[in-house]
Amino acid sequence: MRGRPNLYTSYEAESQLMPTRTKKVILGLFLVVAVLMPFDLPIIDQLPVVRFLGDNVWLRLVNRALCFTIAALGLNILMGLGGQISLGHTFFGGVGAYTAVLMGGKASSNLWGWGLPMWLWLPAAGVVAAAVGIAVAPAAVRVRGLYLGIVTLGLVFIGLHLSRVFPEIAGPGALGRKWPRMELRLWKEDEPFLDFSRDGHWLWFDINKNQKTYLFLLVIVIVMAWMAANLARTRTGRALQAIRDRDVAAEIMGVPEYRYKTTAFAISSFYAGIGGSLFASLSVQLPPEQWSLIGAVTFIAALLIGGMGRVSGVLMGSFFVVTSHRFVEEIVDWMKHQAEEGGVFSGFFDFLISTGQGDGGFVSVMETALGYPLPVSALDEIIYGLLIIFFLLFEPLGLYGIWIKIRNYWKGWPFSY
């Protein structure tokens, strides 16, 4: 109703994903900017943050963040909606990735591969990962809390062991093998009719491979995010939230805990399989150690920093953890140049940044062993840890909670209540 956006006259109106006109307009503008971001257009050049994210160097990182977001959406369904702790999300991502390379990769004397097109290996990566999740669920749903986390943690080590047992699928341990490219073929013809991994010409303009890949991944993220957001409004989503809040009470009220926990594992694993296969294809070649415990912790960090239980929180947290390392490098490099060029704050920057041996400074721009001064590569890990502690203590809803407070402040301004 015009002028009264929070007045709902039906349950259907209140349960909409975008219940107000303002939210619909903002979402539409956001999607338009997201689609136009990688292109050199005057309207995009006026938006500084969007402009440099659309450059090729940053666009490759944004593409990695989109792949990461797909898998993180699955973990959010398991942990944010279902309240189930999982430290083995990278295992299911690896299952999807190796399903993709087995079905779409090229065979050789010591490697297996069927050479199937992407429209087969991409959905199969999610389906096989979901099937493995269903197979693991009977053991996982018998325990809760920390015990469940330990059970899922064991999956990571099982996956690393299987990669050494089956080098025909995983490839050499230190190098891995090449994944199939992002390209659409009808079957196994030589030339694909749509290739996202090479520069080309669409309609009336030239487009490079990073822009192609970005648009392709953006469409998948939008679809997967829409499905994840709608899941919370369904019977399954409400049952998972009831189990998360109080599993014993939910079961007494007639919610079949075993069935819905198994469903959560299956859906979460499906998302992980899709995200893992796309990430591997984007990276071209990955070693099996990529699917380790560090990756699982990074997923949890994304949920805690962004805001667990919310799709928008997953998007913010995923982009933060993937791009933060590059932002830290850019900031440290800027501080280094400021210290070298001189100026009002050059002494302060010189005190913080070390550019050589024995010149002081807390952060080194050179790659050194962990110690003093700290290398830039270790700085983002320290930031992760500090931010996780901060959000757990002071803002459990993460970046999403901070946004809610800012929004509510301006909605109530000039009043404080």
Domain end: 236, 256, 290, which one?
290
SS3 269: helix
Q: How many domains does the chain have?
A: 2
What secondary structure letter does DSSP report for 285? Answer: E
Residue 1 domain-assigned (yes or no): no
Instruction: Kindly state whether residues 261 and 298 are assigned to the same domain.
Output: no
Domain residue limits at 181 = 41-290
| Exposed / middle / buried, residue 47 (Cβ in 10 Å: 0-12, 13-18, 19+) | middle
Instruction: Kindly state whether residues 148 and 240 are assigned to the same domain.
Output: yes
| Exposed / middle / buried, residue 177 (Cβ in 10 Å: 0-12, 13-18, 19+) | buried
Residue 308, sorted as left (phi over 0), alpha (psi -120 to 50) or beta, turns out to be: beta
Give the amino acid at 298.
Answer: T
CB 303 within 8 A of CB 80: yes
Instruction: Kindly state whether residues 232 and 312 are assigned to the same domain.
Output: no
Cα(79)–Cα(58) distance, integer angstroms: 30
CB 270 within 8 A of CB 127: yes
Residue 414 domain-assigned (yes or no): yes
Going by their DSSP bridges, the two strands 353-354 and 363-364 should be labelled as parallel
Write out the chain's pLDDT in tens, 417 residues: 455 666 777 777 777 888 778 888 989 999 999 998 888 877 777 777 777 777 888 899 999 999 999 999 999 999 999 999 899 999 999 999 999 999 999 888 889 999 999 999 999 999 999 999 999 988 888 888 788 888 899 999 999 999 999 999 998 877 888 999 999 999 888 888 888 988 888 767 788 999 999 999 999 999 999 999 999 889 999 999 999 998 889 989 999 999 999 999 999 999 999 999 999 999 988 888 889 888 888 999 999 999 998 999 999 999 999 988 888 888 888 877 777 776 666 777 777 777 665 556 667 766 655 555 677 777 777 887 888 888 888 888 899 999 888 888 877 777 765
Instruction: Kindly state whether residues 313 and 285 are assigned to the same domain.
Output: no
Residue 409 domain-assigned (yes or no): yes
Residue 186 domain-assigned (yes or no): yes
What secondary structure letter does DSSP report for 250? Answer: H
SS3 197: coil
Domain end: 290, 309, 327, which one?
290
Instruction: Kindly state whether residues 250 and 387 are assigned to the same domain.
Output: no
Report DSSP letters for 110-124, one per residue: S-------HHHHHHH
| Contacts with 299 (C-beta within 8 Å, 6 or more apart), sequence order | 68, 71, 72, 75, 89, 90
Cα(292)–Cα(155) distance, integer angstroms: 10
Give the amino acid at 157.
Answer: F
Instruction: Kindly state whether residues 256 and 339 are assigned to the same domain.
Output: no
Instruction: Kindly state whether residues 224 and 109 are assigned to the same domain.
Output: yes
